[in-house]
Structure 1
Amino acid sequence: MFTSWVQRFLCSPLPRLLIRRNPGASINISPSIPGSITHVSGKLTLLEKGLVLSSLSFLAIESLRRKRKNAVVHASIKVEDIKEQADYLHGNGEMEKLYEFLTQYKDSEDPEILWRFARACREISQLGNITPDEKKRVVYESHDFAKKALEKDGLCWAAHKWYGICLSDVGEYEGIKVKIGNAYKIRDHFQRAIELNPKDATTIHLIGLWIYMFADMPWYQKKIASTLFAATPSVQYDEALEYFQKAEEAEPNFYSKNHLYLGKTYLKLKNKELAVYWLTKAKDYPARTEEDQQVHKEAADILKSLGK
């Protein structure tokens, strides 16, 4: 394309006129290809050089602009590919491969990649073969990346969800006062995630879990909460049950932990029959992750204590 443009330029009347006025310059035209140029020789005047250099500069700028435009399109496609591959690995429970894959994109500025990396870090922290020091490192790493995703896009529902989850995890290392003190922040992020995406079953479950934890809080933690808040939340197990049921309605059979807490909540409400039903579902849920395995064990232990 560039060569053909130069050929058209040098064959136009203006350069030919300039070269005729400069006897030291010549153009060789290929006899076999009409209008083609094989060689340009001789000395050009300053004006002629300026015309050629200006034209070349214009072409260089145009070429750079097009490359940048193509790079933006390529980057956009690449982000979609990264998201698709990350979700595929997560869906298959391949958490170590997921973490390894997303580590190479940890410097990304895209919130969709950042919250997925936070999710990968959090999943790694749940693995049974991880050392305590490594677990702590990835817990804080997940928190930092979820926070960064939220800073990049405050309207990203998944960033709110994962920031709430990661903020809760960090509380395990910050002490009981910090953990309880962050409770309302965690709830607010879950509620914002639901506002932005009312159909996400996991976030609905998390609100139910938040209510269950407050309802099930030991007396000494409630006393700490009363010193931190003007009023501690007055919540009941039946409120938690409503959210667990809504999560199941939004996406049936989506999460072993939702089954587990449906069973545990029914036990708190003295409904043994439904408790056994949901605990059995939790125990029989296909184990894709180590969290599923932990749920299986807890459900099986509760059922055993019930004589089932």
Structure 2
Amino acid sequence: MLRDVPLARLLCTMYRFYCRREVTFQQTENDSFLLYFRQVKLTRESVQTEFLWRLARASRDLALLSTLEKNQACFAAHKWFAICLSDVGDYEGIKVKIGNSYTIRNHLEQAIELNPKDATSIHILGYWCFAFAELAWYQRKVVAVIFASPPTATYEEALAFFLKAEEVDPNFYSKNLLMLGKTYMMLRDVKPAALWLTKARDYPAVTEEDKQVHKEALELLKKLDG
């Protein structure tokens, strides 16, 4: 499998494949990287697409790990390592995501300790807490079967982080406003929920994410009114 190939060799193989556009599968049938793609029956165009995103991910991860090895006091490296590790779980499944969760939290906590004024790290840790607080009982049972000590969190913990992020840098991120509203809703505290959802709705919609936040805030406000 691809993950069994040493990273250095993998990157060299990927680079060679990218540079030699005329290469054929027959010429490289002993190459672990290309053999992997043959096994999953990808076309040449798909291989190039698959290769490019894997190269980007591997390069990113390698750079972050190298930074952390050289300087454990770099808060941004801890933050982005946590973000990247979370991204891995998004496409490798719930088992990987849960398995990485403690490492993600650890790096976020280190980032916040190194830079308590970074609202983004605080927000992400709040989101981490919200995600695990939101797990349904049956999902918790499934997770408990796989992991002896699955991660847990409460909405109160999530709320504390979202509020702290807002205190550090008021109105810095539309999603933080939305998550404050959603967390208060989960705690059945309607008045502050409406307040923060209104702030999220009225936040200038500059990015695509802002537009999605605006839409969700509107929908949640309608639920509160109903």
Question: What is the TM-score with the length of structure 1 in the denominator?
Answer: 0.52
Distance 1:184 1:287 in 2: 33
What amino acid sits opposite 1:273 in the alignment?
A: K
Distance 1:260 1:139 in 2: 33
Match of 1:299 among 217, 221, 224: 217
Asked if the contact 2:98–2:151 (Cα under 8 Å) also holds between the matched residues in 1, the reply is no
Asked if the contact 1:146–1:162 (Cα under 8 Å) also holds between the matched residues in 2, the reply is no
* 1:236 correspondence with 2:151: no
Distance 1:301 1:246 in 2: 25
What amino acid sits opposite 1:215 in the alignment?
A: A
Distance 1:168 1:297 in 2: 25
Asked if the contact 1:279–1:299 (Cα under 8 Å) also holds between the matched residues in 2, the reply is yes
- Structure 1, unpaired ranges of 5+: 1-132
Distance 1:208 1:284 in 2: 22
What amino acid sits opposite 1:161 in the alignment?
A: K
Structure 2 counterpart SS, 1:253: coil
What amino acid sits opposite 2:207 in the alignment?
A: T
What amino acid sits opposite 2:199 in the alignment?
A: K
Show the 5 A alignment for 1:47-66.
none
Distance 1:137 1:300 in 2: 38
Distance 2:207 2:57 in 1: 18
What amino acid sits opposite 1:252 in the alignment?
A: P
Question: What is the TM-score with the length of structure 2 in the denominator?
Answer: 0.70
Show the 5 A alignment for 1:238-253.
238-253=156-171
* 1:223 correspondence with 2:223: no
Distance 1:136 1:220 in 2: 37
Structure 1 counterpart SS, 2:225: coil
Show the 5 A alignment for 1:164-203.
164-203=82-121
Q: RMSD between aligned alpha carbons?
A: 2.5
Asked if the contact 2:181–2:197 (Cα under 8 Å) also holds between the matched residues in 1, the reply is yes
Q: Which residue in the other structure is 2:64 paired with?
A: 149
What amino acid sits opposite 1:261 in the alignment?
A: M
> CA offsets, 1:189-221, max 9 Å, x none?
111111211110110111111111000013343
Alpha-carbon deviation of 1:239? 1.2
The answer to which structure, 1 or 2, has the higher relative contact order (CA under 8 A, 6+ apart) is 2
Structure 2 counterpart SS, 1:306: helix
Alpha-carbon deviation of 1:295? 1.1
**Bigger mean CA offset, 148-157 vs 292-301:** 148-157
Distance 1:168 1:155 in 2: 21
Distance 1:184 1:140 in 2: 26
Identity %: 55
Q: Which residue in the other structure is 2:40 paired with?
A: none
What amino acid sits opposite 1:296 in the alignment?
A: H
Alpha-carbon deviation of 1:163? 1.5
Which of the two has higher C-alpha Rg? 1
Q: How many residues align?
A: 176
Distance 1:151 1:224 in 2: 35
- Structure 2, unpaired ranges of 5+: 1-47
> CA offsets, 1:73-109, max 9 Å, x none?
xxxxxxxxxxxxxxxxxxxxxxxxxxxxxxxxxxxxx
Asked if the contact 1:212–1:240 (Cα under 8 Å) also holds between the matched residues in 2, the reply is yes
Alpha-carbon deviation of 1:306? 2.2
Match of 1:255 among 153, 163, 173: 173
* 1:287 correspondence with 2:205: yes
Structure 1 counterpart SS, 2:116: coil
Alpha-carbon deviation of 1:250? 0.6
Distance 1:293 1:139 in 2: 30
> 1:287 and 1:144, CA in 2 relative to 1: closer, same or farther beyond 3 A?
farther
